[in-house]
Amino acid sequence: MAETLLAICGLKAFYGDFQALFGVDLELGAGEVLALIGANGAGKSTLLKAITGLVPCSSDMVLLRGEPIGGERPDRIARRGIALVPEGRRLFRSLSVEENLVIGGERAKPGRWTLDAVYQLFPILGERRRRPGTALSGGQQQMVAIGRALMANPDIILFDEISLGLAPVVIKDIYAALRPIAATGVSIILVEQDVSRALGVAKTFVCLQEGKVSLAGRPAEHDRAAITAAYFGMHR
């Protein structure tokens, strides 16, 4: 088992009075891909937001290399090497494709991911570098969002709904890019509606249901029925 990079311990998260997460635990090893699955509203995005500091939580609920970082400011957490590819891509609309990439990296430590490296991974972005980020197709925008996260040369990348709303052929391209990204040794949490696709690339998975972990482990340890039950709830 790889050394634990990120540990979530008893994470509770709230939106005002509404509680979205009820004591979630998970561990992400260095260089591992973890699939985070669960039905709509299960709390997957909330978990990623708590890790990145966009949703408050107490400090010992998120440990990075054993150090409590829960509730720190989002820009601090980003500096610690955690990047998010957010749900809905969220490109900066007044920035060009290239500026969207540059802003992802210009405050970060240098590393293997540079503009050239991102353009090599997604050649189409190089051709469209001067266009406004939001003038691209959905798939290309997702590539920009991924490139923007890579430019920070993070140790951990969190992907939220990486394939939502994209055509199957585009999804194939995006997943093809995931392989060389994972091969660089970066740790990944992958939130994905397409469970079998996510379990295909992940080493471990965590299934959330109504803010709690309903099942976790390695994909091979559980049969399809158990995972489906954990996904939709036992009563189905």
Partner 1 sequence: MDWVNAIVQGVLLGGLYALFAAGLSLIFGVMRLVNIAHGDLIVLAAYIALVVVHATGLHPLASAIIVVPLMAAIGYGLQRLLLNPTIGKDLLSPLLVTFGISVILQNGLLATFTADSRRLAAGALETASIQVLPGLSLGILPLFMFAVSVLLIFGLEWIFYRTSLGRAFRATSDDAEIAQLMMIDRRHIFGMAMALSAGVVAIAGIFLAIRTNFDPSSGPTRLLFGFEAVIIGGLGNLWGTLAGGIVLGVAQGIGAQISPGWQILAGHLVFFLVLALRPKGLFPRMD
In sequence order, the 6+-apart residues with CB closer than 8 A to the CB of 32 are: 2, 5, 187, 188, 203, 204
Min dist. Cβ of residue 48 to partner 1 (A): 11
Which residue lies nearer to Mg ion by CB, 25 or 87? Answer: 87
Residue 46 as a binder of Mg ion (CB under 5 A): the answer is no
Nearest to 162 by CA among 216, 87, 70: 87
Q: Which is nearer to Mg ion, 45 or 153 (CB)?
A: 45
Only segment of 14-22, 124-132, 133-141, 197-205 that touches ligand ATP (CB under 6 A): 14-22
| 44 contributes a contact to ligand ATP by CB under 6 A | yes
Least distance from C-beta 217 to ligand ATP, angstroms? 19
Query: Minimum distance between the CB of residue 41 and Mg ion, rounded to whole angstroms?
Result: 8
Please give the size of the binding site for ligand ATP, defined by CB under 6 A. Answer: 12
Q: Please answer whether residues 185 and 154 qualify as being in contact, where contact means their C-beta atoms are separated by less than 8 angstroms.
A: no
Phi and psi at residue 119, to the nearest 5° = -65, -25
Between residues 88 and 165, which has the closer beta carbon with respect to partner 1? 88
Determine the straight-line distance between the first and last CA of the chain, rounded to whole angstroms: 34
- In three-state secondary structure terms, 228 is helix
Of these partners, partner 1, Mg ion, ligand ATP, none, which one is at the site of residue 15 (CB under 5 to 8 Å by kind)? ligand ATP
Going from the C-alpha of 10 to that of each of 4, 49, 58, 70, 153, the distances in angstroms are: 16, 15, 10, 12, 28
**43 near ligand ATP (CB under 6 A):** yes
Considering the rule CB under 6 A, would residue 18 count as an interface residue with ligand ATP? yes
- Using CB under 8 A as the binding rule, whether residue 79 contacts partner 1 is answered as yes
Quick one: what does residue 55 bind among ligand ATP, Mg ion, partner 1, none, with the CB cut-off 5 to 8 Å set by partner type? none
* Cα distance between residue 113 and residue 180, in whole Å: 12
CA torsion angle for 54, 56, 62, 67 (degrees, to 10)? 90
Binding mask 30-69 for partner 1 (x = CB under 8 A): ----------------------xxx---------------
How far, in Å, are 18, 69, 187, 208 from residue 62 at the CA level?
A: 20, 6, 16, 17
Interaction site with Mg ion (CB under 5 A): 45, 87
